Structures are given as structure tokens and as C-alpha cells.
Structure 1
Amino acid sequence: MLQLTDVTKTYPTPQGALHVLDGVDLHLGAGESLALMGESGSGKSTLLHLAAGLDLPDRGDIHLDGERLSTLGEPRRAALRRQQLGLVFQQFHLVPSLSVADNLSLQARLAEREDNHWTQHLLARLGLAGLNDRYPEQLSGGQQQRLAIGRALAAKPRLLLADEPTGNLDETAADEVLDLLASLVDESGCALLMVTHSARVAAPMDRCLRLQHGRLAEPGE
């Protein structure tokens, strides 16, 4: 589903070049879940943005569902994101002027893959049934994050990318959201790449890798 080969990313700084990723190799199979750990500033979010085609590497190849991202123009990469990816961030990025129901179905409509039965199932599983007409500001933080997860899954993506999806929640709400995320990912059959700094959050994933000094390794190496 996702393949990174010898991926390098460098950013210029007043102190010189900052090597964020240095020859990273990563493989994620269909339906597999992988936690990507590392300290703040280690490049986890950069790797996620590259995997989503939001940025391109300085060197190396990224293949998403068999397509080489560096050979695609931005319109094609955007279309690939709509059709194949679900994105969940620490900031919820809900549309304030849209209702719960419209926020939930937004991604699916953009992908022309709206499924009313699946949407209603998601609303029920997310604990948002009966809140269709409310707006994001009328929801709790946990409800907003569950809505963001539902929006990402509504189009039945093949790969879900999650960047610290519970970072703004207290531990109880975070555990509830993570349990729900894992359950819905299993139901949808998509692959999951989750960025986290927490070993507790990473524990249920199929695999875990740590990003340190620009390179990936198994935890403890």
C-alpha cells in the first residue's frame, strides 16, 4: 500500500542544512497498522506529509498504491489523496459552518464515494447519532476528534494517516478515541500509519518503528 525507498528530506536553516530524513525505507501492507514513534522534531510529521503527497522528497521514491508520487503533478496527487487516503490530524480541521452530518460526509462527497448506510453506521459507532444538525463548536473535544476520524473513514480509504490524533485530549477521552479508531479501521479494512510519541498508544499496532536522527529502527535498537 505504501513504500518509501531511500527517502531523504532536508530543510535549509540559518545554521545550515537540517537533515530531517536520511535514507528512510518503510513498507506498509494493505490492512496493516504501523505506529511511527519519535521525539518532537524528529521528522515524524514530515514523513507523514511525504506519504500523503503533500510534499516531495529531495531523494528517493514513494509509491502509494503502486503509483510513484514524484512523477505525478499536484492535481493527480490531490486526486489520489481524495480517492485513497484518509487524513487525521491533532488539530481537528472541521469546517465550522458545516453541520456534523455534512462534516462527516465531506470527504466522501469529494471522492464521489458517499455511502449513506456506511455514513449512518459511522455516526452510530462514533456516538454522534442524534447530533447531525449540531456544529463543531457545540461538540466536546472528544466528539470533535471522533467526527474528524469519521470524516477520514467515510470515503472508505485504503490508507489512513493519523498524526498524533489524540494529542489534544485527556487520557480517558484519548483511550476511547483510540479504541474506536482501531475498531473502525478493522471494519473498513484500510491500512493505518499513526504518528505518536506514546508507547501506550503504539502498543496495539501490528508494528512499531522509531524515527531517530533521520532514520528508522525497531524500538530499542
Structure 2
Amino acid sequence: MLELRQVHKAYATPQGPLSVLAGVDLTLAPGESLALMGESGSGKSTLLHLAAGLDLADAGEVRLGDHDLATLAEPARARLRREAVGLIFQQFHLVPSLTVLDNLRLQARLAGVEDPAWSKQLLQRLGLDGLERRYPEQLSGGQQQRLAIGRALAPRPALLLADEPTGNLDEATAGEVLALLLELVAQAGCALLMVTHSPQVAAPLDRCLVLTHGRLAPRDASRNHTAAGA
């Protein structure tokens, strides 16, 4: 579903180029869930943006399905995002002028694949049934995060990218939201790449990789490498 081959990314700074990703290799199969961990500023969000085609790598290859993202112009990448990728952000990014129902339908409508029965099921499973006519400001933080999850899953994307999706929630609510997210991801049949700083959030996923010094390693291997270098 998603493949990164020897991906490099650097940003210009007053002190010169700052390397963030230095030869990253990653493969995510259809239906697989993967947690991406790492220290703040390690490049986790950058990797997520490259996977979504929101930014392009300096070198290497990022493939989404059959598409090499570097060969697509921005309109084609945007179309591919609408059709194949769901995005969940830590800050929710709900549209304040739209009701709960219209926020949930938004991504599916943009992709031209709205399924009213699936939208209704999502509302029920997310505990938002009966709140369809409310606006985001009338919801709790947990309800807003569940709505953001529903919006991303409404088009049944092939790939779901989630950036700290429970980072703004208390521990109990975060656990409930995560369990529900994983259930709905399995039902939708999509692959999941989730950025998180929490080992508890990463634990239920199929795999966990840690981004350190611009490269990826399995979590245990990363800890061993850090200990060896200490």
C-alpha cells in the first residue's frame, strides 16, 4: 500500500541544510497497522507528509499503491489524497461552520464516494448519533476527535495517516478513542500509519518503528542501539 525507498529530506536553516530523513525505508501492506515513534523533531510528521504527498522527498522514492508520488503534479497528488488517503490530525481541523453530519460527510463528498449507510454507521459507532445538527464548538474534545476519525474513514480510504490522534485527550478518553479507531480501521480494511509518542498507544498496532537520526528501526532494536551508543 505504501513504500518508501531510501528517502531523504532536508530543510534549509540559517546554519545550512538540516537533514531530517537520511535514507528511510518503509513498507506498509494493505490492512496493516504501523506505529511510528521518535523524539520531538525527529521527522515523524515530515515522513507522514511525504506519505500523503503533501511534500516531496529530496531523494528516494515514495510510492502510494501503484503511484510514484514524485512523478505526479500537485493536482494529481491532491486527487490521489482525496481518493485513497484519510488524514487525522492532532488538532482535529474540523470546519466550524459545518454541522457534525456535514463534517463527517465532507471528505467522502470531495472524493465522490459518499455512502449514507456507512456514514450513519460511523455516527453510531463513534457515539455521535443524535448530535448530527450540532457544530464542533458544541462538542467535547473526545467527541471532536471521534468526528475527525469519522471524517477520515467516511470515504473508506486505502491508507489512513494519523498524527498523534489521541495526543490532546486524557488517558481514559484516549484509550476509548484508540480502541474505536482500530476497530473501524479493521472494518474499513485500510492500512494505518500512526505517529505517536506513547508506547501504550503503539502497543495494539501490528508493528512499531522508531525514527532516530533520520533512519527507522524496530522499537527494541532502536533501544538497543541507543544503549550501545551511550
- TM-score greater than 0.5 by the shorter chain: yes
Note if 1:80 corresponds to 2:70: no
- After superposition, the CA RMSD in angstroms is 0.5
CA distance in 1, matches of 2:40, 2:174: 19
CA distance in 1, matches of 2:29, 2:220: 23
1:81-100 alignment runs, 5 A limit: 81-100=81-100
Q: Residue type of the partner of 1:40? A: S
Q: Residue type of the partner of 1:28? A: L
Give the structure 2 partner of residue 211 of structure 1: 211
Following TM superposition, by how much is the alpha carbon of 1:66 offset from its aligned partner in structure 2, in angstroms?
Answer: 1.1
Give the structure 2 partner of residue 18 of structure 1: 18
Following TM superposition, by how much is the alpha carbon of 1:102 offset from its aligned partner in structure 2, in angstroms?
Answer: 0.2
1:114-153 alignment runs, 5 A limit: 114-153=114-153
CA distance in 2, matches of 1:156, 1:183: 13
Q: Residue type of the partner of 1:180? A: L
Give the structure 2 partner of residue 163 of structure 1: 163
Following TM superposition, by how much is the alpha carbon of 1:12 offset from its aligned partner in structure 2, in angstroms?
Answer: 1.1
TM-score, structure 1 as length reference? 0.99
Q: Residue type of the partner of 2:30? A: A
Q: Secondary structure at the match of 2:11?
A: strand
Give the structure 2 partner of residue 4 of structure 1: 4
For residues 43-62 of structure 1, give each alpha carbon's deviation from its aligned partner in whole angstroms, at most 9, with x where no partner exists.
Answer: 00000000000000000000
CA distance in 2, matches of 1:84, 1:113: 11
CA distance in 1, matches of 2:25, 2:81: 21
- In the alignment, structure 1 segments of 5+ residues that lack a partner are none
Question: Across the two proteins, how many residue pairs are aligned to each other?
Answer: 221
Give the structure 1 partner of residue 196 of structure 2: 196
Q: Secondary structure at the match of 1:30?
A: coil
Give the structure 2 partner of residue 101 of structure 1: 101
Give the structure 2 partner of residue 174 of structure 1: 174
Q: Residue type of the partner of 2:199? A: A
CA distance in 1, matches of 2:127, 2:191: 23
For residues 113-147 of structure 1, give each alpha carbon's deviation from its aligned partner in whole angstroms, at most 9, with x where no partner exists.
Answer: 00000000000000000000000000000000000
CA distance in 1, matches of 2:207, 2:151: 25
Following TM superposition, by how much is the alpha carbon of 1:14 offset from its aligned partner in structure 2, in angstroms?
Answer: 1.4
CA distance in 1, matches of 2:65, 2:217: 24
- In the alignment, structure 2 segments of 5+ residues that lack a partner are 222-230
1:22-41 alignment runs, 5 A limit: 22-41=22-41
Following TM superposition, by how much is the alpha carbon of 1:15 offset from its aligned partner in structure 2, in angstroms?
Answer: 1.8
CA distance in 2, matches of 1:208, 1:108: 29
CA distance in 2, matches of 1:90, 1:9: 23
Following TM superposition, by how much is the alpha carbon of 1:17 offset from its aligned partner in structure 2, in angstroms?
Answer: 1.4
CA distance in 1, matches of 2:186, 2:220: 28
Q: Residue type of the partner of 1:136? A: P
CA distance in 1, matches of 2:160, 2:220: 26
What is the percent sequence identity of the aligned residues?
71
